[in-house]
Amino acid sequence: MVFRLANRFTANISKAGALASALLFWVPVHAQNSTPMSLSDRVARLEQQSQNQTQNRVDQLGQLQQMQTQMQQMQGQIEELQHQLQQLQDQNKAQYADADSRLQRLEKGVNANPAAVAGTGGPAPATSAAASANAPANTAPAASSSAPAAPAESAAEKTAALNAYNVAFKSLRAGDYVSSSRGFREFIQKYPNDALTSNAFYWLGESYYATTNYQVAVEAFKHLLSQYPQSDKAPDALLKLGYSQLEMKQTDAGVATLKSVLAKYPSSNAAKLARERLNRLSQQSAH
């Protein structure tokens, strides 16, 4: 009996101890939850904020790098466009290099000897005004073999024709193609039988060709070839006719015309240029 009571007492004491321990554990936890944030929590929160800021900077850096990449791509496109523009300019210079050199020779020839017959290098009157004035009355002024038969011109008419021709030619030399084409048209209308008329048709076509008015240029070159087949400008007119057809995307006709330059005038400078153009076309088609 005494032993049983002792056990109950011991059990009650154990329960009381466990309850006391639980109370002691609960009180600090409750107190901790009600107190302000601890230093470690503050540090953790600051670290989280720092991580968020770092991530934002990383995102901004990525956006900046993306913008830089886009700018580099745009720069590449600009450089490519500049390269294409330079290629077009180089092609344009190559097309007119031969014409420019001939124009210089023409200008020097006209200024140095205005009485010379129009030759391969360029235009000049068949006879000077002074020579016509000193010629016998029954002798007609010499005329170009390429021009149609025409009544003899007076010295004044020849002088006026030469002046009109030179004005149009100087406009062409200066790059004023509008004034040049107008001047050559007026010359042809006013002096249709002059020794320089065939040359005027050629330079009229050149004026239109230089302003990319290829259809009208074709008409001028074709008129020269049909009306003045023996003209010294016929090889160049046939060459530029082929060039104009190519520019108008008439590739078959243009190639055929350039080949006819080789066949009709194999030793001319026009044939050399035609051969070079045909070679370039062949290379382009191969690629």
For the chain of 287 residues, list the mean pLDDT of each consecutive stretch of 10.
54 56 49 62 78 80 76 66 56 51 52 40 35 32 42 77 93 93 95 93 95 94 95 95 95 95 94 93 82
- For residue 227, being part of any structural domain is answered with yes
Number of C-beta neighbours around residue 194 at 10 A: 26
Token code pair at residue 127: 């006879």
What local confidence, expressed as pLDDT, does residue 269 receive? 94
- For residue 198, being part of any structural domain is answered with yes
Domain that holds residue 249: 161-285
What local confidence, expressed as pLDDT, does residue 45 receive? 78
Q: How many domains does the chain fold into?
A: 1
What local confidence, expressed as pLDDT, does residue 285 receive? 80
Closest CA to 122 of 148, 102, 149, 138: 102
> 222-234 burial, b if ≥16 CB within 10 A, otherwise e?
bbbbeebeebbbb
What local confidence, expressed as pLDDT, does residue 253 receive? 95
What local confidence, expressed as pLDDT, does residue 79 receive? 61
- For residue 238, being part of any structural domain is answered with yes
Per the prediction, the chain carries an average pLDDT of: 73
- For residue 250, being part of any structural domain is answered with yes
Phi, psi angle pair for 115, to nearest 5°: -95, 0
What local confidence, expressed as pLDDT, does residue 78 receive? 73
- For residue 177, being part of any structural domain is answered with yes
**Alpha carbons 268 and 191: distance in angstroms, whole number:** 29
What local confidence, expressed as pLDDT, does residue 180 receive? 94
**Alpha carbons 218 and 199: distance in angstroms, whole number:** 15
- For residue 138, being part of any structural domain is answered with no
CATH number, domain of 229, equals: 1.25.40.10
- For residue 86, being part of any structural domain is answered with no
pTM score: 0.50
SS3 state at 119: strand
Q: Go through the chain and tell me how many residues it has.
A: 287
What local confidence, expressed as pLDDT, does residue 129 receive? 32
- For residue 189, being part of any structural domain is answered with yes
Q: For residue 213, how far is the Cα from the chain centroid?
A: 17
**Alpha carbons 264 and 234: distance in angstroms, whole number:** 10
Token code pair at residue 201: 């048709």
